A = this chain, B = another copy of it.
Amino acid sequence: MVPRYARPEMSVLWEPEAKFRIWFEIEAHATQKLGEMGVVPESAGKALWDWWATNPKIDVEAIDAIEAVTKHDVIAFLTWVAEQVGDEARFMHQGMTSSDVLDTTLSVQLVRATDLLLADLDGLLAAIKMRAEEHKYTPTIGRSHGIHAEPVTFGLKLAQAYAEFDRCRDRLIAARKEIATCAVSGAVGTFANIDPEVEAYVAEQLGLEIEPVSTQVIPRDRHAMYFSTLAVIAGSIERLAVEVRHLQRTEVLEAEEFFSKGQKGSSAMPHKRNPILTENLTGQARMIRAYALPALENVALWHERDISHSSVERFIGPDATITLDFALARLTGVVEKLLIYPERMQANLDAMGGLVHSQRVLLALTQAGVSREDAYRLVQRNAMKVWESNGALSLLELLKGDEEVTAALSAGELEEKFDLAYHFKNVDTIFDRVFG
């Protein structure tokens, strides 16, 4: 975890205190249920919750001190709780195994992290939608291979991004479901010493599903799917970040990351405004993708479980979620405040002297009865002049002056072929598909 790429609401989920609070809830819910079932005194659960109602501070240092002696984190925690709650606490953890607590806690942490990420995505989607509607009909050149192709609108670019992050949202909801399970099944998952009803109760209280078959651990294919989903979202972040980086290039300059008036004044080179936020996002996306790999390697644990997944998850649990949270929030800010330059978009569109319309003219000539070969020849000889002039000449004007062309198409007909609106007649349809 890199502090500068961390936001408090997410980071706090991964701090010891948050973890201990979930541990307590799991233990207390289980004790409560065991009490109802008559396995332990009903007073035990009550004592735990009564203490919890006092909103006690979790003394992480004290628990750590006990662990330094017991060499066992869960026992240390239980000991500390017992010190606070008193004798009734000895009924905690009955029939359970440490992994029941640890794995279910990881589920709760990931669920809560995911809820933050879903809110992040909502914010990002709202920002993209707002800017998309704002620029629904702002003409800009569509580029394939980095080369001018045909006109699109800036709103369409953003509509694509919206549709992509909306898919990411669906994926994240599915990923949340993957890891929202609870296991309270004992040493090797046989419920030998604890009734499945306890698991069902704890799961319900925590908003989780029961894990159908656990083997001391919750199976790690779930986590592999979860972190792979974060990796896909990172890919989409990178795509939009790269788009902004391209648009901000000196030669393109159709959009820029926000800078305040003050920032502008800070240098003698007013053009040197670097897309550092989106470059930064590009790097973060690489990291989030990388975290999926060890999660995939974690699946093949030995027999009922080995603990090789644990060190991996100490890294990627916080690192992947904290970084993705930060990245989504940063990207939202970039989109919300993006400086968008429609005039420059138009200028770039026009820079080729109208060559982007040559295919429509070609088609029109053939439809007007000119042979395909002749049509090509006519368009091309004018297009080449425009091209060689670096866009200083206008294809439309040249065509209007080419008698072989005007023999087939009138000036008005030619002008109609250079009408941007022709390209945008289905923008509404696409927007309906995406935002409808």
Contacts of A296 in B (CB 8 A): 231-232, 234-235, 289, 292
Contacts of A379 in B (CB 8 A): 268
Closest chain B CB from A220 CB (angstroms): 8
A221 at the binding interface (Cβ < 8 Å): yes
Bitwise interface map of A from 355 to 378 toward B, beta carbon under 8 Å scored 1, else 0 = 110110111000000000000100
Contact present for A146 and B351 (CB under 8 Å) = no
Query: Given A252-B251, A319-B315, A426-B191, do A308 and B293 touch, yes or no (CB 8 Å)?
Result: no
Contacts of A362 in B (CB 8 A): 268
Report which of B252, B294, B304, B306 forms a contact with A279, defined as CB distance below 8 A: B306
Contact present for B4 and A1 (CB under 8 Å) = no
Closest chain B CB from A273 CB (angstroms): 7
Alpha-carbon distance between A287 and B294 when the two chains are bound, in angstroms: 6
Contact present for B2 and A314 (CB under 8 Å) = yes
Bitwise interface map of A from 48 to 60 toward B, beta carbon under 8 Å scored 1, else 0 = 0000000000000
Contact present for A308 and B290 (CB under 8 Å) = no
A321 at the binding interface (Cβ < 8 Å): no
Tell me the residues in window 25-63 of chain A with beta carbons closer than 8 Å to chain B beta carbons.
none
Interface of A, helix, strand, loop or mixed by DSSP? helix
The chain B residue sitting closest to A391, CB to CB, is B271
Closest chain B CB from A400 CB (angstroms): 17
Contact present for B383 and A147 (CB under 8 Å) = no
Report which of B145, B216, B234, B425 forms a contact with A149, defined as CB distance below 8 A: B216
Query: Given A160-B219, A219-B164, A275-B146, do A235 and B290 touch, yes or no (CB 8 Å)?
Result: no
Alpha-carbon distance between A283 and B309 when the two chains are bound, in angstroms: 6
Taking the full assembly, how many copies of this chain does it contain?
A: 4
The chain B residue sitting closest to A379, CB to CB, is B268
A270 at the binding interface (Cβ < 8 Å): yes
Alpha-carbon distance between A149 and B216 when the two chains are bound, in angstroms: 10
Contact present for A146 and B249 (CB under 8 Å) = yes
Alpha-carbon distance between A196 and B148 when the two chains are bound, in angstroms: 23
Alpha-carbon distance between A234 and B145 when the two chains are bound, in angstroms: 21
Report which of B142, B231, B273, B358 forms a contact with A147, defined as CB distance below 8 A: B273
Alpha-carbon distance between A170 and B219 when the two chains are bound, in angstroms: 16
Q: How large is the interface on A (under 10, 10 to 19, 20 to 34, 35 or more residues)?
A: 35 or more
Contact present for A287 and B311 (CB under 8 Å) = yes
Alpha-carbon distance between A287 and B148 when the two chains are bound, in angstroms: 28
Query: Given A221-B239, A236-B299, do A283 and B269 touch, yes or no (CB 8 Å)?
Result: no
A163 at the binding interface (Cβ < 8 Å): yes
Contact present for A213 and B311 (CB under 8 Å) = no
Contact present for B300 and A238 (CB under 8 Å) = yes
A150 at the binding interface (Cβ < 8 Å): yes
Contacts of A187 in B (CB 8 A): 142, 144, 149-150, 359
Contacts of A221 in B (CB 8 A): 164, 167-168, 232, 235-236, 239
Contact present for B312 and A222 (CB under 8 Å) = no
The chain B residue sitting closest to A299, CB to CB, is B235
Bitwise interface map of A from 412 to 434 toward B, beta carbon under 8 Å scored 1, else 0 = 00000000001111110110011
Query: Given A265-B380, A280-B307, A280-B308, do A171 and B290 touch, yes or no (CB 8 Å)?
Result: no
Tell me the residues in window 105-155 of chain A with beta carbons closer than 8 Å to chain B beta carbons.
141-152
The chain B residue sitting closest to A256, CB to CB, is B147
Contact present for B279 and A355 (CB under 8 Å) = no
Among A80-88, A240-248, A331-339, A403-411, the one that faces the other chain is A240-248
Contact present for A152 and B245 (CB under 8 Å) = no
Query: Given A152-B188, A174-B174, A192-B422, do A274 and B145 touch, yes or no (CB 8 Å)?
Result: yes
Closest chain B CB from A204 CB (angstroms): 15
Contact present for A147 and B235 (CB under 8 Å) = no
Contacts of A151 in B (CB 8 A): 188, 190
Write 23 A-B pairs (CB below 8 A) sorted by A numbering.
Answer: A1-B1, A143-B302, A146-B275, A148-B271, A148-B272, A149-B187, A149-B188, A150-B190, A187-B359, A193-B363, A196-B426, A221-B232, A221-B235, A238-B300, A239-B299, A239-B300, A251-B251, A251-B348, A271-B355, A283-B294, A285-B300, A290-B293, A293-B293
Q: Which 4 residue pairs are nearest across A and B when measured between Cβ atoms?
A: A235-B299, A142-B188, A283-B311, A145-B274
